[in-house]
Amino acid sequence: MAEQQLVDQESETHDVGQVWKATLGALEVSLSKANFTTWFKNTRIIQIDDDLATVGVPNTFAQEWLRSKYHEQILAQLREFYPNLRRIDYHVATAHTAPAPDAVLPHGTGPASAPAEATNESGLNPSHTFATFVVGSSNRLAHAAAAAVAKNLGAAQYNPFYIYGGVGLGKTHLLQAIGNEVRRTHPKKTIIYASAERFTTEFIEALQGKKLEAFKKRYRNADLLLIDDIQFLTSKEATQEEFFHTFNTLHQTNRQIVMTSDTRPQMIPQLAPRLSSRFGWGMVADIQSPDLETRQAILRHKCQEKGVVFPSDVLEYVAQRVQSNIRELEGFLNTVAAHCQLYGIEPSLKLVQQLIEQAGADRRNIHLSADVICDTVAEFYSLDRVELLGKRRHKELVHPRQITMYLMRSEMSFSYPKIGKALGGKDHTTVMHGVEKITKELVGNEALQRELSLLKERLYSTA
């Protein structure tokens, strides 16, 4: 191999290993550290042949990225040594140091599959069930009530059932678990799952398209109505009035309504009192932040689910350090798994400590802002921030823009209108479309999953 790496170029002879080192050195200065490590680790020159350089990269992901984002820079640097060079072939080749990534993840397990929310026709994510919900002291009451609701649909003491709590604590999971359970036990029942925003948008569209009757019929026909994030029901009177009538129709005929929210009914700003009082008629349960023991149980459960094996000291450490919420715990687990797969290494305490430092996982909710998201996305895709927020509809801009929307939604739980505003005045339906597009694409698209998990890594090392 060593002989092959010595390349003759007419008058000059260069050691390609040294050339690559020099090239990397030059690139390193112009890139952020995270970016550099992510894309250039375990790369090398395999061969220089006349006007063609063959660069070895560890995986197809790096291949795509170098080709589409860094090609010009790499070419320019290499031409300092090989002026004849015109083309670069990025070739996936296992680096000498990297063991098979399968040591970490079994086949078919996406490394960063967390945000992928596959849904069935009722809009329910089939993996959000009671069986996959870990019960601890922080969610015991809400869980018990949810199970009772699923068993006794429409029973007066649980109707409506209102679950509230902070971001990423399992409200949506529990809400959908009720839906999935009823779907299993009563396949004929009509179940509707919708976010309050979707309800709002559908209502406005129905108004504009003169399809109000169909809209009313659909919602008022439900046996089980699951409304997620009711705090995002618009403050507009017509929408609230429509929800009021839907609520009354269902409630009067003992059909079940379940809602989630980030706060108690009376605390939702701009919600008409006749609604907030009704929301408290049945059962109100809150979910609190999980304690250490529950966090450990959840981590063990998630590892099992994903088929990932983490040593117990690693699990313990993560549970201790990542405290804020379960989405974050899960996200961190995915980051570790993705990292191990990307670099072909085993999860160790040392690695996890490093990643936690990097990700600032326990600082996320404090420092993250819409600005940080925009800047990080713009830098990641080498775009101008103004372009990213602008109106041009080029493919190269639309994807990053939709990723920005998705991140504001998943990481900050912004409402669609709020995201629209943060992106320089986009319509909330455009935002909803963007978020849904990415959410759908994430299912089964490993490259996109990794792209997002790397973006998040960057996000939390910046924030």
Positions touching ligand ADP (CB under 6 A) are 128, 132-134, 139, 165, 167-173, 298, 326-327, 330
Least spacing, CB of residue 364 vs ligand ADP, in Å: 14
Minimum gap (Å) between residue 299 Cβ and ligand ADP: 10
- Name which of 77 and 296 has its Cβ closer to ligand ADP: 296
Residue 67's CB: how many other CB atoms inside 10 A?
Answer: 15
The answer to whether residue 404 forms part of the interface with Mg ion (CB under 5 A) is no
- Minimum gap (Å) between residue 38 Cβ and ligand ADP: 25
In the complex, residue closest to ligand ADP by CB = 170
Considering the complex, state which of residue 134 and residue 233 has its C-beta at the smaller distance from ligand ADP: 134
> Cβ of residue 286: shortest distance to ligand ADP, in angstroms?
11
Which of 59, 325 has the CB closer to Mg ion? Answer: 325
DSSP string, 249-269: HHHHTT-EEEEEESS-GGGST
Nearer to ligand ADP, 23 or 261 (CB): 261
- Residue 438 interacts with, from Mg ion, ligand ADP, none (CB under 5-8 Å by kind): none
Question: How near is the Cβ of 327 to ligand ADP at its closest, in Å?
Answer: 4
Work out the burial of residue 127: count CB atoms within 10 Å of its CB; fewer than 13 is exposed, 13-18 middle, 19 or more buried: middle
For 46-84, the DSSP string reads EEEETTEEEEEESSHHHHHHIIIIIHHHHHHHHHTT-TT
Q: Which residues contact 458 (CB under 8 A, 6 or more apart)?
A: 32, 34, 35, 376, 379, 380
Question: Of the candidates 448, 444, 441, 454, which has an alpha carbon nearest to the alpha carbon of residue 343?
Answer: 454
Nearest to ligand ADP of 204, 326 (CB atom): 326
Residue 222's binding partner among Mg ion, ligand ADP, none (Cβ under 5 to 8 angstroms by kind) is: none
Element (H, E) at 460: helix 446-462
Binding residues for Mg ion, how many (CB under 5 A)?
Answer: 2
Quick one: 88 or 259, whose CB is closer to Mg ion?
A: 259
Q: Smallest gap, in angstroms, from Cβ of residue 174 to ligand ADP?
A: 7
Task: State which residue, 181 or 242, has the beta carbon closest to ligand ADP.
Answer: 181
Query: With the CA atoms of 408, 413, 418 and 424 taken in that order, what torsion angle do they form, in degrees rounded to the nearest 10?
Result: 0
Give the one residue of 172, 246, 324, 325 binding Mg ion; rule: CB under 5 A. 172
Q: Helices 292-306 and 312-321, interaxial angle, to 10°?
A: 130
329: left (phi over 0), alpha (psi -120 to 50) or beta: alpha
Cα distances (angstroms) measured from residue 231 to each of 63, 106, 173, 220, 289: 44, 40, 17, 21, 20
Provide φ and ψ at 226, rounded to 5°: -110, 115
In whole angstroms, what is the distance from residue 2 CA to residue 12 CA? 18
* 36 vs 18: CA distance, rounded Å: 18
Q: Provide the minimum distance between the beta carbon of 327 and Mg ion in the complex, in angstroms, as a whole number.
A: 9
Judged by beta carbon distances under 5 to 8 A according to partner kind, the member of Mg ion, ligand ADP, none in contact with residue 167 is: ligand ADP
Tokens in use for 261? Answer: 């929210």
> Is the Cβ of residue 298 or residue 356 nearer to ligand ADP in the bound state?
298
How near is the Cβ of 228 to ligand ADP at its closest, in Å? Answer: 7
Note the residues at the interface with Mg ion (CB under 5 A). 171-172
